[in-house]
Amino acid sequence: MRILVTGAGRAIGAATCTELSKAGHEVVATARDVSLLDELDVALRLPLDVTSDESVKAAVEAAGPLDGIINNAALGGTAPLETYPIDKFRAMHETNVVGTLRLIQAVVPAWRERGSGVIVIIGSVQGRVSAPLGGAYGASKFALEAMTESLHYELRHFGIRTHIIEPGFIAPGMKDTGELPRPAAYQGLYDEWEGADDTLNAEGRPGPEVVGQAIVDIFANEDSPLRIPVGADAELILGTRAQLGDAEFEAVMRATMGLTW
């Protein structure tokens, strides 16, 4: 299959390109800075800025007929919502949410006529369980969960599959929106949350190749589920969340992660 990957210059995007290529797929790797793609063994490297209509249109045309897309391009950022800069919040959502939809809208008409295609969206465990200091990022990933579910209902009739990957903590982290305020009033929360991260990932974070391998499995298995958690922490958190009410889940997570804030 011929598959386009956004945000392929590092981390999950680069690892996904590698795993798909190893599995025999023709990979079109894209990034804002195409020089970041030089080391990837792929069929084609293209510049792509998902926040630009013109860039998306040009990349889709240059890529040629596609069988699948991996919507991976994303920005992160950690700060209390009280002080989160609106311009950076907007920039994150323009990339993470609007950029994802922009690419989907560019490829679906041809796929609908053809009767096939695979959409994979890189979500996060934070798309179903939000976290302190992660409200801005979590909001973008919650939006992707809603989009994925709606796309599934809308497009399956046309033979188009839609899936969302829900990774836990993956090393290395993603690019963020730039330096964010770290208000002194919240320093205690920062300290506790960083310690909780260490507790949850005591055995180390998995590498991005686990996400790439999960995506390879999606293309190999037409019966793949809509939502696919990746990583032991994601499976633990989402599994626990599904079994408990709000108060019970909060109590368990506070106890597990040592949070008193």
> Given this model, what pLDDT does residue 195 score?
81
Query: Is residue 191 assigned to a domain?
Result: no
Active-site residues, by number, are 137
Query: Is residue 88 assigned to a domain?
Result: yes
- Say yes or no to pLDDT of 202 above 60: no
Query: Is residue 213 assigned to a domain?
Result: yes
Separation CA 97–CA 121 (nearest Å): 10
> Given this model, what pLDDT does residue 16 score?
98
Over the stretch 49-92, which tens digit does the pLDDT of each residue have? 999 999 999 999 999 999 999 999 999 999 999 999 999 999 99
Query: Is residue 80 assigned to a domain?
Result: yes
> Given this model, what pLDDT does residue 160 score?
99
Query: Is residue 114 assigned to a domain?
Result: yes
Query: Is residue 89 assigned to a domain?
Result: yes
Secondary structure of 155-209 in the HEC alphabet? HHHHCEEEEEEEECCCCCCCCECCCCCCCHHHHHHHHHHHHHHHHHCCCCCCCCH
Name the residue range of residue 73's domain.
Answer: 2-183+205-231
pLDDT mean across residues, the chain: 95
Residues 6+ apart with CB under 8 A from 170: 11, 12, 205, 206, 207, 208, 210, 211, 230, 231
Residue with the larger pLDDT of the pair 131 and 147: 147
Q: Comparing 24-38, 133-147, 160-174, 189-203, which segment has the lowest mean pLDDT?
A: 189-203
Total tally of structural domains belonging to the chain: 1
Query: Is residue 161 assigned to a domain?
Result: yes
* pLDDT average, residue stretch 145-159: 99
Query: Is residue 190 assigned to a domain?
Result: no
CATH classification of the domain holding 119: 3.40.50.720
